[in-house]
A = this chain, B = another copy of it.
Amino acid sequence: MSLIGQPLAALDTPALLLDLDRLDANLALLQAACCAAGKDLRVHFKSLKCGSLAKHLAARGVRAFLCAKLNEAETLVGAGIRDIYIANQIVGPMKLARLAHLAKDAAIRVCVDDADNVRAMAVAARQAGVTLGVLVEVDIGMNRCGVEPGEPALQLARLIHAEEGLRFVGLQGYDGHLQMSPDLVSKATRCREGLDKLGMTRAMIEAEGIGVEVVTGAGTGTWEWAAAHPAMTELQPGSFLLMDAAYHAVRPEFACSLSILTTVVSRRPAWYVLDAGSKAISQDFGTPAIKGHPGDKVLKLAEEHTKVEDQGAGPRVGDRREVLPAHCCATMNLHRRVVAVRGGVVEAEWPIESSGRYD
């Protein structure tokens, strides 16, 4: 039986829900802000992983996406997206062949932080007869991947610029370590300091006569400072569309569109238990919240249970509750389908093709 047009009561639980009115409002807010700031908006598909959702966004003006993995890029190509940036290191002959193959169907960009990887990538591109757009990943304080700002990035840019099959596009710098910081004053300062390093590196490369078309970075937690920074050409957030309890605490301008519909399966005097737990609701960024019941306190998630304290005031066995996850990206990855809802009515049911895939 099709669920389209049905109310939420027709759904069995647990069900991952996406409120399209809230999603569309989140998109419109950031599109307007980027437009006003003269920056491009590229939406991070690692948060979404759902081809139909990419199509939904494309119909609302999103032309460019980035992602973390090749399989996500393949899902995007399958959804008709033609401007894709894989903001990650793609390493090894099998993956480089897939990367080059993708560039026959879409404009593909990728980032690098290793000279041998650049050379192997160029070989793969030439063998496939394609040109790959390449950005140098610069470590602006997260201390994960990337090269140091300045000279190391310049050296890699020179190498890319010289390799047939590759086109040097610009710089990648993500301040992942700042996204959740609640102290807006120190966060703004540290964010600008990181972006300044991108600006300094950009100037060094341009001084060599190598064009820097794109400087891209920022997430939902740092978008406003990137939008205001002269070195940046592009913002790359993703979570702002779905949102979660953790991001909402520091970014109240975006509404939580993602939730998990659950059923109460057990009732004791002081607590109730829901039929979804840590396997369906990521807790890597903290504890989820019960939508519309701010007094109910989530005590613990087990694999298939969420235990909520309410001192007996709340629901009975069989009643339903919506859970707001603390981390939207990881929660999307835990599900195989999402139910798109508007005004409490099911508008669509979408597969999440790239969930549970890391290749």
Asked if A294 lies at the interface with its beta carbon under 8 angstroms from chain B, I say: no
Minimum distance in angstroms from A92 CB to a CB of chain B: 6
Most chain-B CB neighbours within 10 Å: which of A275, A330, A355, A357?
A275
Which residues of the other chain, B, contact A265 by a CB distance below 8 angstroms? 88-91, 145
Which residues of the other chain, B, contact A358 by a CB distance below 8 angstroms? 14, 275-276, 279-280, 304
Which residues of the other chain, B, contact A68 by a CB distance below 8 angstroms? 303-304
Which residues of the other chain, B, contact A318 by a CB distance below 8 angstroms? 91-92, 116-117
Q: Is the CB of A336 within 8 A of B356?
A: yes
Q: Is the CB of A92 within 8 A of B356?
A: no
Q: Is the CB of A307 within 8 A of B263?
A: no
Asked if A13 lies at the interface with its beta carbon under 8 angstroms from chain B, I say: yes
Asked if A52 lies at the interface with its beta carbon under 8 angstroms from chain B, I say: no
Measured CA separation A355–B359 after assembly (Å) = 17
Which residues of the other chain, B, contact A183 by a CB distance below 8 angstroms? none
Asked if A95 lies at the interface with its beta carbon under 8 angstroms from chain B, I say: yes
Residue on B with the closest CB to A11? Answer: B94
Minimum distance in angstroms from A329 CB to a CB of chain B: 6
Cβ contact of A94, chosen from B12, B144, B145, B273, cutoff 8 A: B12
The interface of chain A, by Cβ under 8 A from chain B, is 12-14, 46, 68-69, 88-92, 94-95, 113-114, 116-117, 143-146, 176, 263-267, 273, 275-276, 278-280, 283-284, 300, 302-305, 307, 317-318, 329-330, 333-336, 355-359
